[in-house]
Amino acid sequence: MKKTSGDPMLIPDDLLIEILKRLPVKSLCRFRCVSTAWRSLVSNPRFVDAHLAHSVNRPGLLVTLPVRQIPCPQGRWLLLADHPEPGRDRPQIAIPHLLVPGSPERYVSQSLNGLICLEVGGLISVCNPSTRKVVTLGQAGAKSGGVCSYRRHSFGFDPVGKEHKVFKTWVTNSGKPDRGLIMEQFVLTLGSNGWRRIEGGPPHVKHDPEICFNGVIYYMAWKSLGAFPRAEYLVALDVRTECFRMIASPSGGQVDMSKRCLVEFEGYVALVDCNNLRSDDEVAIWILEDFDKEIWKKKVAVLPPCWKEIVADHEMFPAGIVRSTGELLFEPWFLSKPVCLFYYNLKTNSFRISEIGGFPEYESGMPPEMYGLTFTDHVESLLPLMSPFQ
């Protein structure tokens, strides 16, 4: 039958998916209202997977900003911005997407498949900034008594089981002369009914933000709270098996921890140390090249002369790696108006600066670490919060 000009054009499902997976999450959330068929398509786990795989190639920047002023609502703002293109002079604009209410606390995870985990009001929440969805997790208790307890969290993704997990650890100082630690560990899988206890983990105190890739969470830790200097270790937590391993740190413990960060470097976990950035104009990168034999290799990047002109009087510390470009991202030691970020390309040994606007009012001249401002790579995702990734 010959089609007339009034006949509707039918788009094959495969072509429709190819078109829709390139659209931002905001548009896709609107398209759920078009029809039952479109709602089913956009919510289908296979489409969510296809959209995420496409989004990974165009990551943005997620900024979290605590709000502590009263009478303003307390919480943590999640703002999204694009990473700047090289040579672009216009400021980036951070757009507020979500306010997680409650008294903001220190812990904020990296973004994993578009989800972020943070502590607000003494509780742990998992958020999808793109869909503006938040789920608050229940408490996991600890039974051991002691002189002092430390609560720590970690957030990871198991690519085999396709599950996100939140780990909670209570570390208690036993009060004994040798300052032995008692550690109780719990895990919650998103989409499950609640927390489970983990047995057998070595006692330690986590003190650095973690990174997670290839199904393993990495962070730095101490084995004890004894006299200085404390021996440092890299902790590797397998998200799937929920087993811990501790590896001796390559750089010792006599460094400023705020000037270091863990990154994924060319497929390996690496410790970026910027303690000699101002004195020797260099960045040290310790790469764990052999995980089984615990062999670290040191790489030193001597910064180009132009970096002092770009950075000027800013003192910086590392915030992580931009996966799309491989650049090392630096944030300033003291916040000023406007907020500026610095990108260092390890391969070309070049620096660039980016100005970001759009922030709510904040007190200028405070360190981001004290203020609680964080930056992380982020991809848009339709991933729901209360069901496993399929």
**Residue 227: what pLDDT?**
55
Q: What average pLDDT does this structure show over 41-59?
A: 88
H or E element in which residue 375 lies: strand 374-378
Q: What average pLDDT does this structure show over 329-355?
A: 80
Q: What average pLDDT does this structure show over 142-153?
A: 66
Check pLDDT > 50 for residue 367: no
Most confident stretch, 107-121, 133-147, 173-187: 107-121
Closest CA to 299 of 256, 250, 244, 334: 250
**Residue 389: what pLDDT?**
39
Q: Which long-range contacts (CB under 8 A, 24 or more apart) does 131-136 make?
A: 131/25, 131/29, 131/381, 131/382, 132/97, 132/98, 133/384, 133/385, 134/98, 134/100, 134/385, 135/190, 135/385, 135/386
Closest CA to 227 of 182, 175, 181, 179: 179
Range name among 45-54, 167-176, 340-349 with the lowest pLDDT average: 167-176
Closest CA to 201 of 166, 169, 238, 243: 243
Tokens encoding 12: 């094959």
Check pLDDT > 60 for residue 33: yes
C-alpha 357/C-alpha 344 separation (Å) is: 21
| pLDDT band, very low/low/confident/very high, at 148 (cuts 50, 70, 90) | low
Check pLDDT > 60 for residue 6: no
Check pLDDT > 60 for residue 178: no
C-alpha 116/C-alpha 376 separation (Å) is: 10
CATH code of the domain made up of 44-378: 2.120.10.30
- Phi and psi dihedrals of 179, rounded to 5? 55, 45
**Which residues on neighbouring strands pair with residue 127, listed in sequence order?**
116, 134
C-alpha 128/C-alpha 105 separation (Å) is: 18
**Residue 96: what pLDDT?**
85
Range name among 81-85, 123-127, 193-197 with the lowest pLDDT average: 81-85
Closest CA to 60 of 275, 356, 378: 378
Query: How many CB atoms are closer than 10 A to CB 42?
Result: 23
The domain locations on the chain are 44-378
Q: 3-state class of 344 per DSSP?
A: strand
**Which ranges of the chain would DSSP assign to H, the alpha helix?**
13-20, 25-31, 36-43, 45-55, 277-280, 306-311, 368-371
Residue 58 DSSP class: S
Whether the link from the prior residue into 12 is cis, omega within 30° of 0, is no
Q: Give the orientation angle of helix 13-20 with respect to helix 36-43, to 10 degrees.
A: 60
Per-residue model confidence as pLDDT tens digits over 200-232: 778 888 887 899 999 999 999 887 766 555 678
**Residue 112: what pLDDT?**
94
Check pLDDT > 80 for residue 20: yes
CA distance to 36, 101, 273, 329, 378, per residue, from 369 (Å)? 46, 20, 17, 15, 20
CA distance to 32, 48, 140, 224, per residue, from 331 (Å)? 38, 32, 34, 30
C-alpha 387/C-alpha 390 separation (Å) is: 9
